[in-house]
Amino acid sequence: MLRKLLTQTSSRRLLFSGVPPLFSKSTISPFSSLSSSPEPPSSESPAVEHPGTTISIDRSSLYTPPDHSHESTPDSELVKHLKSIIKFRGGPISVAEYMEEVLTNPKAGFYMNRDVFGAQGDFITSPEVSQMFGEMIGVWTVCLWEQMGRPERVNLVELGPGRGTLMADLLRGTSKFKNFTESLHIHLVECSPALQNLQHQNLKCTDESSSEKKAVSSLAGTPVHWHATLQEVPSGVPTLIIAHEFYDALPVHQFQKSTRGWCEKMVDVGEDSKFRFVLSPQPTPAALYLMKRCTWATPEEREKMEHVEISPKSMDLTQEMAKRIGSDGGGALIIDYGMNAIISDSLQAIRKHKFVNILDDPGSADLSAYVDFPSIKHSAEEASENVSVHGPMTQSQFLGSLGINFRVDALLQNCNDEQAESLRAGYWQLVGDGEAPFWEGPNEQTPIGMGTRYLAMSIVNKNQGIPAPFQ
């Protein structure tokens, strides 16, 4: 089956995420005001008389210089909105709330109104590197569908589909397996209207019903539906869920150990009217609740921790997925950059492929954090006794075990030199460590590649056995 998938399919987002130091704005002390100042003279100063001439001297401009040339630019609508929230609350907001507003504010959020992917955007993801990535995800879905007993109807859900590139390559790669593609009902969970339009174009959709947010993809004749959340996706049928670089954009709370206990890092407005990080004076309700839920960390890990990052939305999403899979059958594939350990302090901002200050010009840069894979495993197992969790394994192991090397060999048989070079470069970007171009990080001499930094994990219904390639 794997060989057939890898050789018969048609030919046709990369964020190297070394974690930079957490940027934070230092507090700028206001200038001390002068204790006294001279009174400016009248513009009509007394004339100085000399024999035969009268000279009038106007000194007023010495005390009223022209406007300063370094005035701050007007606040954006998102900055005004964030400051109004802080003012209304009478105090700072959590890092999680700041992150959510910056990324998904309906009017000015980073993802909401433009295409942020690719060389002309802010970052590149794996599907944009090579068609082979989407094709390998297609191999995974077909294999799991086989293990499920080839159900006649399956909901194929992608969370945060970006441009729709991954799904388009998946459909092209599996188009020869008619029984599989005919069983699919595609559901794209996307909150951005701009990205929904791109997905519609790249999936070559027709016959759209705007009232029901659905269309038909001409790539495989499959119906396509759009939703704002996973809860909107119909249940009751087996479901395959793909979450590629989705968890890293979910809001995180940050906590720091102090003499007062675990206090929360917050975002406030300083005396200079700029955003700054502050620490809560005592543990917040979120700190008291979430630190108790951090049960997947060993006592030794908890004792050593000085900082910790927790994403309750990631845990809630995972539990929703696990309950659905446990009751309806199917599975989920999660691929993201992260660690098989508790995360301490990883939040970062990227604009035009460079790391920037997290609090600088909110809404103009992507915010993301490392994914805590142990918390995903714990949340899934806590939600349903009918699911099993497998992994994580590195992206290099995942793609290699699915046969990406056979796929690249097959594609190289029918391409010119320029295409061959592009294929090899894409292959090494996906599976290599140190073989590909890297984003500017805190130390350009120690680049981190995708092959080992990105991890893959699967959640499946226990009745379906162990999914490929986690056996």
Q: Could you list the beta-strand ranges (E) of 260-409.
A: 261-269, 275-279, 307-310, 330-339, 348-351, 354-356, 366-368, 371-372, 387-394
Please give the pLDDT value at position 311.
95
In contact, 56 and 47? CB cutoff 8 Å:
yes
Residue 171 belongs to some domain of the structure: yes
355 conformational bin, left if phi > 0, alpha if psi -120 to 50, beta if neither: beta
Residue 136 belongs to some domain of the structure: yes
Please give the pLDDT value at position 187.
97
In contact, 334 and 66? CB cutoff 8 Å:
no
DSSP label of 440: B
| Residues 389, 259: Cα–Cα separation, whole Å | 38
Which stretches of the chain score pLDDT less than 70?
1-73, 115-124, 208-213, 434-449
For 417, the domain range is: 2-11+110-253+290-464
| Residues 422, 439: Cα–Cα separation, whole Å | 19
Please give the pLDDT value at position 109.
84
Report the 10 Å Cβ neighbour count for 205.
20
Nearest to 430, CA basis, from 457, 469, 468, 456? 456
Please give the pLDDT value at position 36.
31
Report the 10 Å Cβ neighbour count for 64.
8
The residues near 330 (Cβ < 8 Å, ≥ 6 apart) are: 144, 148, 154, 155, 238, 239, 240, 241, 324, 460, 461
Number of structural domains in the chain: 1
Write the single-letter amino acid at 361: D
Rounded to an integer, what is the distance from CA 81 to the centroid of its chain?
Answer: 22
pLDDT tens digits for range 367-421:
999 999 999 999 999 999 999 999 999 999 999 999 999 999 999 998 898 988 8
Write the single-letter amino acid at 114: R
Write the single-letter amino acid at 318: T
pTM (2 decimals)? Answer: 0.80
| Residues 16, 442: Cα–Cα separation, whole Å | 12
Q: How far is CA 32 from CA 35, 36, 234, 416, in A?
A: 9, 12, 62, 69
In contact, 335 and 454? CB cutoff 8 Å:
yes
Please give the pLDDT value at position 86.
95
The residues near 292 (Cβ < 8 Å, ≥ 6 apart) are: none
Residue 405 belongs to some domain of the structure: yes
Q: For the chain, what is the radius of gyration of the CA atoms?
A: 28
| Residues 230, 232: Cα–Cα separation, whole Å | 5
Residue 30 belongs to some domain of the structure: no
Long-range contacts of 361-365 (CB under 8 A, 24+ apart): 361/76, 361/79, 362/76, 362/78, 362/79, 362/82, 362/98, 362/101, 362/102, 362/275, 363/76, 363/78, 363/79, 363/102, 363/105, 363/108, 363/109, 363/110, 364/110, 365/110, 365/122
Two tokens, residue 8: 């018969």
Residue 26 belongs to some domain of the structure: no
Give me the CATH number covering residue 161: 3.40.50.12710
| Residues 368, 379: Cα–Cα separation, whole Å | 20
**Main-chain dihedrals φ then ψ at residue 203, nearest 5 degrees:** -90, 5
Q: Which residue has the tokens 């630019």?
A: 73
DSSP 53-81: EEE----GGGTSPPPPTTPPPPPPHHHHH
In contact, 284 and 264? CB cutoff 8 Å:
yes
Residue 96 belongs to some domain of the structure: no
Residue 297 belongs to some domain of the structure: yes
Would you state the torsion angle of the CA atoms of residues 376, 379, 382, 388, taken in this order, to the nearest 10 degrees?
A: -20
Residue 162 belongs to some domain of the structure: yes
In contact, 322 and 384? CB cutoff 8 Å:
yes
Please give the pLDDT value at position 56.
45
- Does a cis peptide bond (omega within 30 degrees of 0) precede residue 469? yes
DSSP 85-146: HHHHHTS-EEHHHHHHHHHH-TTT-TTTSS--BSTTSSB--HHHH-HHHHHHHHHHHHHHHH
DSSP label of 353: T
Please give the pLDDT value at position 425.
85
